[in-house]
Structure 1
Amino acid sequence: MTVGFESAIGSHVGMVRSNNQDSAFAGTYLYLVADGMGGHAGGDVASALATKTLASLDLEPVDSAPATAEVLRKAVLGANRRLRETVGDRPELAGMGTTFTGFLTVGDQLALAHIGDSRLYLLRDDTLSQVTRDHTFVQRLVDSGKITEEEAKTHPRRSVLMRVLGDVDSSPDIDTEVLDTRPGDVWLLCSDGLCGYVEDVDIERILRRRTTLQGAVDDLIDKSLAHGAPDNVTVVLVETTPEAAPVLEPNPRFVGSAANAPSPRDGSVSTARTRLLNRRRPVRKPPQVEESHFEPRVDEYLAELIAETKRRNRRRRFLWLFGAVAVLIAIGGALFFGYQWTQSRYFVGTDGETVIIYRGIQQDLGSISMHSVAEDTGITLDTLDGLERRQVERTLGAGSLEEAREIVLRIGGDDG
């Protein structure tokens, strides 16, 4: 099948960060996102260097998608070597690193390479699915069933990476995969500044309602801004079209720290939309952002994380138990004092034959009677006139036993 590809790209520094450590590229065949780490020490350098190094692959790919995937994997490892060499020349950049998620198009297939926690999504038949798996310790806990996906979204260690490019590993493990595509597919590459703060259901809704790809990119970034945009946010959208458009002139586009010139969407140039968002308070208070970092002590750190998670779960269970007990005590107390109050009330009624003074209230709580006989007056209903009998049958309330007796005396006195 002959297919083509259309793309759109954008990046924003966000509402909290002071610099954009994300980079992205959209070319003719290559599309990628890289999210740098290392703060001011070089996260922006790492993502830009990796992106520009790999952009040289934006050439006519080889015929075989599996072979192209291997080419891409080796190129990513080559970018990793370049990062390590850069740190060797500039020791002040030690500790810098970057994620990488990108693919090369080969006919109606994609050759994917992935490392870190940037993501690739697919919108097919109006349904969004996540293609890549995050290389984070928290994702490892999810995969092992120790925490849920919902708990992972707010876990305090969700930014700790198990795999990245940089000077931390000379030969990192790169995930590769060959994916089939068909007309109508929309592929979303993004940094965790989007997927970490915008729910998948909102991403799907924006993509389904798109009128243009670039409009959808802007809407996704603006959705992150509406959530406070605590991190850099970068988006690349690629749509598979029925026919391949003729390649007239290569038009490679860089955004983020890899851009040769500031883009209106990279946060360096203020647009009307970003000026408005900077003036007003975000819709949601942005959470504190933990710098992403690589943890080389995999087994040791994972053991610490599991122990910490068990402690958090114990604390959570204790708080839930404490809350449940407190609620039960409050309910029990309310029932006890409520019942005590009902037993301070009286009413004059009948058992069908005689006039009775009851203690409590006439209403019952389900099958539980809320009243009992206080005194049987011995006055029969037959001795009462019509009005008095109807009053007794409807009951006459009293605030005390003495008051109830006075009511009975009035009724009996009329007869006497």
Structure 2
Amino acid sequence: MSTSFRLSAATGLHKGDRPYQQDQVVIMAHHRVKGCVLAVVADGMGGRSGGRAAADQVMMTAKQVFERFAPETDSPEAMLGSIVREAHLLIRLVAIAAEQEPHSTIAAFVIMPNGSCMWVHAGDSRIYHFRNGQLLYQTSDHSYVQTLVDQGELTLEEARFHPQSNILLNCLGTAEDPPLIHHRIPVLKHGDVLMACSDGIWHYFAPEELSSITRLLSPREASQFLIERAQMRATGTGDNMSLAIVKIESIPSDKPDKPTKPRSASKSGKGVKPADQTPGSSSPLVS
């Protein structure tokens, strides 16, 4: 039977145990080109108003740049780079005008109509690429503890619980321009899952857990489960939480390639329940 692809997607946002929310997240479909989707997570820092303003600026910039983006002719890497550079500049201008020190991370990926995917990140918000329950790739944090991991002084598990795990070396709004760290997936396949999230989520899960959860649950169910479980594991000290999950699913075509004979009812008399449709937005990809 011939198949096509669809995107099933969901976002999650929760303030955790903090008195206010500084994270922001969005998944948006291109206004003109079907099958082109952008996901962005931003973790704001710099006090109640400053951090939220920085994250909001990332969201506003992402929407404006993506609206100008022409998937047929424009470079997706250049588009993502524009989001990072423009948001960084605007956050710096806000800092000067308001005498604050707002900063924000960014983790953003764009899925193209031909099934390819590009991403960019700055800070310690992460992007994961899972395939059939296995981790294929994840971003590397721009943090102090990540440098210790890279130098062999810490394991990844030790880094998760290091007392200085919240110290960032690069993000948006700092004095120096953030690095543009790109990654490209040539072709997404059925069973692939892309997940962007802030440290309020990934801090409480090993990659193996995340891959299993996103494989077994729909994006909507996985988002709810991860937020609830992270809040439980934080035991009253949890950070803001934000995540965006996109799953690549195959759906059968309307007409089978070959005629099939009807099956007789089972002896028990019970019919077979059809698979539930996964909630969330969907767009076709080229198979």
TM range (shorter): 0.7 to 0.9
What number of residue pairs does the alignment pair up? 238
User: Identity rate of aligned residues, in percent?
Assistant: 29
Counterparts in 2 of 1:148 and 1:170: CA distance versus 1, 3 Å: closer
Native 8 Å contact 1:126 1:204 kept in 2: yes
Match status 1:198 vs 2:200: no
Q: Once superposed, what is the RMSD of the aligned Cα atoms?
A: 2.1
Higher relative CO (Cα under 8 Å, sequence separation at least 6) belongs to 2
Native 8 Å contact 1:101 1:120 kept in 2: yes
Instruction: Give runs of ≥4 in structure 1 deviating > 6 Å.
Output: none
Match status 1:171 vs 2:177: yes
Q: How much does 1:147 deviate?
A: 1.7
Native 8 Å contact 1:217 1:237 kept in 2: yes
1:27 corresponds to which letter in structure 2?
Answer: M
Structure 2 gaps, min length 5 = 30-36, 252-280, 282-287
Counterparts in 2 of 1:217 and 1:76: CA distance versus 1, 3 Å: same
Alignment partner of 1:118 out of 125, 148, 155: 125
Paired with 1:2 and 1:68, the residues of 2 have a C-alpha distance of: 23
Q: How much does 1:36 deviate?
A: 0.8
Q: How much does 1:2 deviate?
A: 7.0
Partner of 1:33: 41
Partner of 1:300: none
Q: How much does 1:3 deviate?
A: 4.4
Match status 1:108 vs 2:115: yes
Match status 1:222 vs 2:225: no
**Structure 1 segment 326-341 matched on structure 2, within 5 A:** none
Q: How much does 1:145 deviate?
A: 0.8
Aligned-partner SS, 1:31: strand
1:63 corresponds to which letter in structure 2?
Answer: E
Paired with 2:79 and 2:216, the residues of 1 have a C-alpha distance of: 36
2:242 corresponds to which letter in structure 1?
Answer: T
| Larger Rg over CA atoms | 1
Paired with 2:170 and 2:73, the residues of 1 have a C-alpha distance of: 27
Paired with 1:123 and 1:169, the residues of 2 have a C-alpha distance of: 34
Q: How much does 1:68 deviate?
A: 1.2
Match status 1:238 vs 2:240: no
Paired with 1:99 and 1:24, the residues of 2 have a C-alpha distance of: 11
Aligned-partner SS, 1:204: helix
1:283-315: CA deviation from partner (whole Å, max 9, x where unpaired): xxxxxxxxxxxxxxxxxxxxxxxxxxxxxxxxx
2:20 corresponds to which letter in structure 1?
Answer: N
Partner of 1:182: 189
Aligned-partner SS, 1:183: coil
Aligned-partner SS, 2:7: strand
Match status 1:68 vs 2:69: no
Paired with 1:57 and 1:215, the residues of 2 have a C-alpha distance of: 30
- TM-score norm. by structure 2 comes to 0.77
Counterparts in 2 of 1:141 and 1:164: CA distance versus 1, 3 Å: same
Aligned-partner SS, 2:164: coil
Counterparts in 2 of 1:202 and 1:238: CA distance versus 1, 3 Å: same
Match status 1:134 vs 2:141: yes
Q: How much does 1:4 deviate?
A: 3.7
- TM-score norm. by structure 1 comes to 0.54
1:62 corresponds to which letter in structure 2?
Answer: P
1:376-411: CA deviation from partner (whole Å, max 9, x where unpaired): xxxxxxxxxxxxxxxxxxxxxxxxxxxxxxxxxxxx
**Structure 1 segment 247-258 matched on structure 2, within 5 A:** none
